[in-house]
Structure 1
């Protein structure tokens, strides 16, 4: 199979042998694809190497001969978002999550569009937490494992005053008022789920519960191996909380 002027987003690139790269891209018409970019080292190939950086939008030509396609040429179609600090970590998370959950050779225009929106929001400096929660929702929906966010798993309307645990197989389950503190801490408020359903930013105090609840669902689909970006975020939080030499908290 031949790909000609195929639009894509670069998810990941790593060195392969001495002069080549293995590149993972997301396309609308063919899903996630693996490409072999041969001979990308050297000054004359700088433009190609630059086009194959994560988060870059490209147009490429390639020939599929097996599991991986041989890249013939690629060019950037815009300027990738210039991210730093937490935004750069969010971009890494966006790519890693997509790489792990999007199957190869499975067309998903909905996922491609959702990725494009999330990438644009990162580049525009929109709030990171809400940007990522929206993408997690859209990714689950595009993969066919999302929920009706306005109703619980039994079809009852979400109560904005209640709390819900997200069951990966069943959907939102309402927590009883006498459940323990740990159960409630890992739950989302009903008003946060309704905001997610309406694509409306939740109150700031509702975002942590929504993040923890969605992580349970994502971890279920990822399997026993988590994400490196989760580990990096955990390390960052531990560093931020560590006391300095004066005994104060950073």
Structure 2
């Protein structure tokens, strides 16, 4: 039996279970993704606890793990969850679903926890949605051991900003020599910008989304995400107009 005490976590998903309970999935800092059974939280007297178990909420919880699911003992909100709408809300749903599918249960990934926290904060601050998601996807791949160099191709050659690259999930970037299929490949300038954590131009940013989708589909076992179906193409999340920067 494992006791989880005062464990920080982000709520990824919650659904009704039986008459008064919830099944909750959280991404914890020290234990990775944890499945929780929250009993008796759907009654009128449990409003505060139920509110703390909504997706995107940052919480601290106590639980006892004795099987596949842990029994929740208590949970408290650590802040106010960002009130997202429109594209940002869809992006938040996507980020949660991606971790639900890829993050293994009870496998510590503190870096993944921090990456989700950064994504959540950026969405809450109204930062460009598409750029926020591409950074998050890059960090998820790196933290789960699926990442690859973005400034060199799979053969060790430096990325050419004027070229286009297919992203091989096992090999990394492969330079395209043919015109056919180039629209589904990442621009070299986009890959270099992502490697440097520098927001790329709109065309380059859109190319990253198209090129990264097959990589995630591979790691998802070929089964896509519901969020992909809901929004059709997440590429429609066009970056907002960049604000003027000091010294620009």
Normalised to the residue count of structure 2, the TM-score between the two structures is 0.92
1:125 paired residue number = 126
Structure 1 position 43, deviation (Å): 1.8
**What is the root-mean-square deviation in Å for CA atoms of aligned residues?**
1.4
Residues 1-250 of structure 1 mapped to structure 2, 5 A cutoff: 1-176=2-177, 178-180=178-180, 183-234=181-232
CA distance in 2, matches of 1:145, 1:222: 12
Task: Kindly provide the CA deviation profile for residues 167-190 of structure 1, in whole angstroms up to 9, marking residues without a partner as x.
Answer: 0110000001x331xx10100100
Partners of 1:92 and 1:27 in 2: CA distance = 18
| Cα shift readout 1:170-212 (whole Å, capped 9, x = no counterpart) | 0000001x331xx101001001000000000011111111001
Give the gaps of 5 or more residues in structure 1: 239-250
Instruction: For 1:129 and 1:236, locate their aligned partners in 2 and report how far apart those are by CA, in whole Å.
Output: 8
The SS at the match of 1:152 is: coil
Change in 2 beyond 3 A, CA 1:73/1:133: same
Number of residue pairs aligned between Structure 1 and Structure 2: 235
Separation in 1 of the partners of 2:109 and 2:63?
19
Counterparts of 1:42 and 1:31 in 2: how far apart (Å)? 29
Contact in 1 for aligned 2:166/2:173 (Cα 8 Å) = yes
User: Any runs of at least 4 consecutive aligned residues in structure 1 with deviations exceeding 3 A, and if so which?
Assistant: 235-238
Distance in 2 of aligned mates of 1:228 and 1:136: 17
Mean CA deviation greater in 218-227 or 70-79 = 218-227
1:236 shift after superposition: 9.4
CA distance in 1, matches of 2:116, 2:190: 22
Task: Give the superposition deviation at 1:28.
Answer: 1.6
Residue 44 of structure 1, CA deviation: 1.2
